A and B are shown apart, each in its own frame.
Chain A
């Protein structure tokens, strides 16, 4: 019987590098609390096999998330999610950067023909999750 847990998904045909896709997918689960502190992640080998990517790609994503303070990596042990202190934003520069990127994504969605209502509904759904977590 297979165990069930949250899943991550990548698109090999996407322009976004695979390592970035893995990091983004994991970060969403971490921020939304689907991966809680103390949760052990599957081995690099298993995730790489399931996604059909090289071991180093998954290892790099784990390392980057460890650098951001989400994971604890110890040699010979599974990667474990850790309690992460929310960093204090010193000025509005970072917020402005994310604002620009978010607008860019919305613009791209609209240019690809996704109706404005759908985009707004999606953003509201995300906002709900953000305020809850």
Chain B
């Protein structure tokens, strides 16, 4: 289990390490810069300092996970990813502060095409049914193999790989995870559709919708495997590791597609970004804008629908208490 936790920590560290390159060339640490800025001394130095901090936090947390005595492991397993994220966040913010004074304002295009043609969704949107089919299939399998499900089975495991929470063979105990997965997939789909209809026309808009559908597959596989793990007698690591087979290729494809320099930069005003992360512009009708701190989209928090969508996520998360128990 220590090795699995270290593996996750290293994966997270690798993702943080790649953060400076997980944006368009015109953005560095959420600051709009000239496209060739990364090759300058200032650009290289900012990236190097960020990575040194991430590497130090990664090595410290991995050492803690490997060498701390067992009685401290529960605390280390919880705090190691938090410490790494906080170190990455702090390093990012420091570089943002350093580069912000030399930010440029994107000219961008403020153009509208005057056509009333309906906005057709891409054909691949039908793939959004897949996650629900997967979860439905898991539920059907469990109902048909009810007797194979143990009367009491583990649903949560500690850092040592030992179960620390159990469920009983009741409707809620058996179908809870599948139902929660379906809620999450529905929210992801709504988010993807809101992104399609609530952002400016661009190539990355369909990548975002595809990404949300892909995340639905990831969530569906995760919760289907959590449900099936006990009846099928799968090893505990399977539900944790198998969904990565969807997540990692999905992230790679999205990063590659969203880095396309041919797609115009979203020319949002610099003064409407708070710390390069939060966009708040009451004078912009758009719901989603291209992020500055990474690839993808973020909310325009001045749009009330952003809060409605976030409230939906809170409700989905809160429902876990009642659905899963």
Contacts and interface: CB of A to CB of B under 8 A. Distances in A.
Interface string A1-39: 111111111111000000000000010010000010001
B104 to A, nearest CB: 13
Contacts of B115: 3-5, 42
A49 B114 contact: no
Interface string B104-116: 0000011111111
B285 A55 contact: yes
B113 A52 contact: no
Interface string A56-96: 01100000000000000000001000000000000000000
A46 B112 contact: yes
Given A52-B284, A54-B285, A7 B200 contact: no
Contacts of A41: 114, 116
Given A2-B201, A50-B201, A52-B200, A45 B114 contact: no
Nearest to A12: B110
B308 interface: no
B161 interface: no
A53 interface: yes
A40 interface: yes
A38 to B, nearest CB: 11
Residue of A48, A50, A57, A78 with most partner-chain B CB within 10 A: A50
B282 interface: yes
A31 B199 CA distance: 30
B284 A47 contact: no
Contacts of B120: 1
Nearest to B282: A54
Nearest to A52: B284
A42 to B, nearest CB: 5
B135 to A, nearest CB: 33
Nearest to A43: B116
A50 B199 CA distance: 8
Residue of A43, A48, A55, A78 with most partner-chain B CB within 10 A: A48
B110 A6 contact: no
Interface string B90-134: 000000000000000000011111111101100000000000000
Contacts of B284: 52-54
A11 B105 CA distance: 13
Contacts of B111: 7-9, 50-51
A42 B116 contact: yes
Given A2-B201, A50-B200, A7 B283 contact: no
A61 B229 CA distance: 60
B114 A6 contact: yes
B199 A42 contact: no
Contacts of B286: 49, 52
B128 to A, nearest CB: 20
A112 to B, nearest CB: 18
A63 B196 CA distance: 28
A4 B110 contact: no
Contacts of A46: 112, 119
Contact of B285 (A3, A5, A49): A49
B239 interface: no
A10 B267 CA distance: 12
Nearest to A6: B114
Given A12-B269, A52-B268, A5 B200 contact: no
28 contacts: A1-B120, A4-B115, A5-B117, A7-B114, A10-B110, A12-B110, A26-B114, A29-B114, A35-B114, A41-B116, A42-B113, A42-B116, A43-B116, A46-B119, A49-B285, A50-B110, A50-B112, A50-B113, A52-B110, A52-B267, A52-B268, A52-B284, A52-B285, A53-B283, A53-B284, A54-B283, A58-B285, A78-B116
Interface of B: 109-117, 119-120, 198-201, 267-269, 282-286
Interface of A: 1-12, 26, 29, 35, 39-43, 45-55, 57-58, 78
